[in-house]
Structure 1
Amino acid sequence: MDHDSRALSRGRRTGHVLTGASALFLASYAVRVLANDLPQRWLNLCLAVTVLCWAVFVLDYAMRWRLSGLGLKFVRVHWLDTIVLVLPLLRPLCVVQIHDAMQRGHDRPRLSLHARVAVYAGLSVTLLGFTGALAVYQHEHTAPNASIVTFGDAVWWTCATLATVGYGDVAPVTPMGRTIAVLLMACGLALLGTVTGSFGSWLIQVFMREDEQRPPES
């Protein structure tokens, strides 16, 4: 097995590990937020799983930083990974990297690739919305004069925020809740732009190919 094959194999294994760690991180965090009436030992176990998963993210980041040889430049080049490391609940935003790699690696319209980006973006919105609802519910439901008092309220507010609709019937009142709102609005715009940009790019490429293949008028 050559060096490139070994590197690809390592990359796939690392991807599987990070995917599993992300799922465990989200599950343990959800249990701590939604099932806080559990015995303390179970809540402590969920906290330990959350911290362990975050340690996996830190280790992966540190290894890639060391192997890159970029020094502090790595933080700027891989800015999305840096943000996700600090805020692990934003891991669904890694779909932006998939979109960027697709745009740089293919110059022909292939619907399957663009459709895949749309699917990844949809899944990312779902995961991001769920984590955002968890985070805002955790900080809002016990706050004085809070309008987000149930997890259902948090889900409804998150959907409206990601869609940048902003009905205003429920809204965060705590500083952390409002910070989460700003992040969700920015993420919603970014992911929506990813889908519409990918679809628009595919349409333009298809039309260009049709024009090139059209026989000249006599």
Structure 2
Amino acid sequence: MNDRSQQLERWEERTDALLAVASLVFLAGYAVRILGHDLPLVWRDVCLGFTYAAWALFAVDYLVRLWLSGLRPLRFLRTHLLDTVVLLLPLLRPLRMVTEYDKIQRRRDQPRLTLYVRVMAYAGLSSILLGFAGALTVYSYEYGAPGASIRTFGDSIWWACSTLSTVGYGDVSPVTPGGRVTAVGLMACGLALLGAVTGSFSSWLVQVFTREDEKRPPGNSPGAS
């Protein structure tokens, strides 16, 4: 591992918690901005300021990653597509769980079962955050729209749960272009999270059974005579 890679890894370790907090601040500011219809304008502007400040932290993190990678901007964009998506929309930071899952897949030589559990727990948390963010976004588009079936934030939460779980009851659905684009993104995220969870769980089971076979004395394996 070269110096730049080590510096990038240290940077990620130092900023991971800070960016996690920044993503929550972004989400909280965005939520108050969307749901606080009755708040004074000054408080809504304060929430907007916190949202932009959190966004600025993600921009700085992206630029530092670009510099430490030593890559040209276009090549960095192609090879770090997930980081670019998170920069454009910090609400999708939970999807960095996919990167964690990719690290697990590269450790087949020395598997750590606790990492599989971490990925599954992180996927569950990601589903909650993504569902809440998707519900907020759809509500912001559908609120007051002509012919909208999503009239309250509760309707939006119900829609997000059924969409993220890929069930899709269809009793409420977005009618605005922005709401439908959000729905497509939320369905894609739901499939990605579901695939990560099932893939991690399957790999975890394989590792458990493999270790059990290694511990079993010769001649005691199933089918041995």
TM superposition score normalised by structure 1: 0.92
Q: Distance in 1 between matches of 2:82 and 2:8?
A: 22
1:172-213 CA-to-partner distances (Å, cap 9, x unmatched) read: 000010000000111001001101101101112232333445
Q: Distance in 1 between matches of 2:143 and 2:163?
A: 17
- 1:206–1:53 distance in 2 versus 1, CA, 3 Å: same
Letter in 1 for 2:174: P
Tell me the equivalent position of 1:66: 67
Letter in 1 for 2:159: W
RMSD: 1.9
1:181 to 151, 163, 183: 183
Shift, 1:122, TM fit: 0.3
Tell me the equivalent position of 1:36: 37
Letter in 1 for 2:50: V
Identify which range, 150-159 or 42-51, moves more after superposition. Answer: 42-51
Letter in 1 for 2:155: D
1:206 to 205, 208, 219: 208
1:78-99 CA-to-partner distances (Å, cap 9, x unmatched) read: 1101111112221111111111
Q: Distance in 1 between matches of 2:152 and 2:52?
A: 26
> Could you tell me whether the CA contact under 8 Å between 1:89 and 1:131 is conserved in 2?
yes
Identify which range, 120-129 or 80-89, moves more after superposition. Answer: 80-89
- 1:36–1:107 distance in 2 versus 1, CA, 3 Å: farther
Q: Distance in 2 between matches of 1:184 and 1:8?
A: 30
Q: Distance in 1 between matches of 2:68 and 2:110?
A: 33
Tell me the equivalent position of 2:127: 125
Shift, 1:109, TM fit: 5.0
The count of aligned residue pairs is: 216
Shift, 1:138, TM fit: 0.6
Shift, 1:38, TM fit: 0.7
Does 2:98 align with 1:96? yes
Gaps of 5+ in 2: none
Does 2:165 align with 1:169? no
1:101-133 CA-to-partner distances (Å, cap 9, x unmatched) read: 122135455432211111000000000000000
Identity of aligned residues (%): 60
Tell me the equivalent position of 1:46: 47
